[in-house]
Structure 1
């Protein structure tokens, strides 16, 4: 059952990438009503996704080296997401300000600014595709793929793949400043959920105290 799910996810991923390479609409260079229609439809899908304020589900992550990990994710707009990895002491928590990578076994915390990563565009209260943020969009019967970038976030990009019929998010890929890609594929998604207090808390004070005692 698990292999069938993974196979379906890989098929969706490869189909979307092939579609983007062969028939994607590069909006920065394409003129006319076709580009305008594609952009408008992309914003409609983005608005549908933005209206979902909380969601949780399972994920499979593919690292830049092709390593696969899985677990459970929790998302709350604006700016919050948590990845709980299966059979791993590592967790990733974003609280709207920082992205924290915590190794509970080693008791280490690495902090990064959310405002400097393309992940911010996924977690914003509203996904705004105006101002040249939407670089390309491809639509086919199975999936709609968007590539977004924001110059204020540096050179990184985010590629999001939605179901063309339901507008549900299926996966996203973060492309960092070194052009390395990390892909997250999601399944068994539930929306409109309530999370326990502290789900997205980062213990800044304890992190600071630990660093001061090094």
Structure 2
């Protein structure tokens, strides 16, 4: 079974144990979604199909974005870095020093490199919730089980889970109510722990260097050179 680190599991809701311990940079309260117990799961039930179509259209019209992210772990850890996303399927999370982590997807495989430990951990992109909103044609209502869509004055948030039941937990996407730009996502694991990824300083649909999504295992390169 592929070894998945704790950081990758927390960030992407990957539930393939065992976990390795990864670096934690700083401690801060997790800005989890404020409880909305007084609100129904669907605040505007009559318009859910239209609202989901608007969200799908916003995601589908976003070919790429680059900016900053801050990740708040359920355990109180906090880390930040630079994020680059290019649909379909390509993503790069480059953590700020001294965090040694780099997470890259080439559209098929998601790879985490730990520069300090010199490790590479791989998982299929399709095994993570990122795949739901990095697809070429996003349709949340078809690709996931939508269990909540709440339209609030300061945000829209849609919560989904894997309809097949193979992937535990839930993902909540949070959007700006005016532009429907993605602002953050919240991963809730099967035990109720939440990891929040906040996005900031985003630039949309600009040219992205394709080399950002290529991550080679230097150990394999060295082995190849020795065989020659």
TM class by smaller structure: 0.7 to 0.9
User: 2:111·2:122 contact (CA, 8 Å) conserved in 1?
Assistant: yes
* 1:22 corresponds to which of 2, 13, 38: 38
| TM-score of the pair, normalised by structure 2 | 0.74
Cα 1:139–1:198 shift into 2, 3 Å: same
The aligned counterpart of 1:115 is: 126
- Within a 5 Å distance, the mapping from 1:187-202 to structure 2 comes to 187-202=200-215
Partner SS for 2:184: strand
1:140 correspondence with 2:140:
no
1:174 to 187, 191, 202: 187
Higher helix share: 1
The Cα of 1:209 is off from its aligned counterpart by 7.5
Would the aligned equivalents of 1:118 and 1:156 in 2 still touch at CA under 8 Å? no
Q: Find the counterpart in structure 1 of residue 23 from structure 2.
A: none
Match of 1:102 among 113, 116, 125: 113
Question: Taking structure 1 as reference, are residues 180 and 202 closer, same or farther at Cα in structure 2, changes over 3 Å only?
Answer: farther
User: Counterparts of 1:193 and 1:99 in 2: how far apart (Å)?
Assistant: 23
SS in 2 for 1:17: coil
In the alignment, structure 2 segments of 5+ residues that lack a partner are: 1-28
Q: Tell me which moved more, 170-179 or 154-163.
A: 170-179
Moved more, 86-95 or 150-159: 150-159
Aligned-partner Cα distance in 1 for 2:105–2:120: 12
Compute the RMSD of aligned alpha carbons: 2.7
TM-aligned CA deviation for residue 179 of structure 1: 4.9
SS in 1 for 2:131: helix
Q: Structure 1: where are the runs of 5+ without partners?
A: 1-9, 28-33
* 1:139 Cα offset (Å): 0.5
Distance, in Å, in 2 between the alignment partners of 1:24 and 1:58 is 32
Contact 1:133 1:148 in 2 (8 A): yes
Partner of 1:125: 136
In the alignment, which residue of structure 1 is the partner of 2:101? 90
Per-residue CA distance 1:21-40 (angstroms, 9 max, x = gap):
3314259xxxxxx4240332
With over 3 angstroms needed to count, the CA separation of the structure-2 counterparts of 1:45 and 1:92, relative to structure 1, is same
Aligned position for 1:37: 47
Once the two structures are superposed, residues 13-70 of structure 1 have per-residue CA deviations (whole angstroms, 9 ceiling, x without a partner) of 55x5323x3314259xxxxxx4240332132023112210110111110112121101
- After superposition, the C-alpha distances for 1:124-165 in whole angstroms (9 at most, x for unaligned) are 122212246221100111100100123345223211000111
Quote how far apart the aligned CAs of 1:93 are: 0.7
Could you tell me the TM-score, scaled by structure 1's length?
0.79
